[in-house]
Amino acid sequence: MERESADSTATVSEVESLVYELIGNSIALDSGFALSEDVQLQDIPNMDSLAQVRLVMEIEKLIGGRLSMDEVMALESVGSIRGLLRARGKLRGEP
């Protein structure tokens, strides 16, 4: 799936695949591992500190800017990534 450009907004139907793509670009995600809104990033297999840095870089590339330290520290779950993207104007509507 090709990502939306930095100035566009994903629709609700694209939210799940967009967030999962960000995570998948950061780590080798096991195809049998089910991601959901409440999955903590620390519980995802292979999500080590380097993968977390790659995830932040993927998010920054998508939003076209830098994350604050508070935003980085708040990335604890799949749902928190979605919330950040919504706050940064990359998502619209409710899941």
Q: How many CB atoms lie within 10 A of CB 35?
A: 15
At 1, the pLDDT band (50, 70, 90 cuts) reads very low
Q: Is CATH 1.10.1200.10 the classification given to domain 12-87?
A: yes
Considering the chain, what percentage of its residues have pLDDT values greater than 70? Answer: 79
pLDDT of residue 35: 81
pTM higher than the cut 0.75: yes
The structural domains of the chain, with segments of one domain joined by +, span 12-87
Q: Is the per-residue pLDDT at 8 higher than 90?
A: no
Q: Which amino acid is at 62?
A: L
The closest of 73, 48, 63 to 18, measured between CA atoms, is: 63
Burial of residue 22 (number of CB atoms within 10 Å: 0-12, 13-18, 19+): buried
- The tally of CA atoms less than 13 A away on the side-chain side of residue 49 is 0
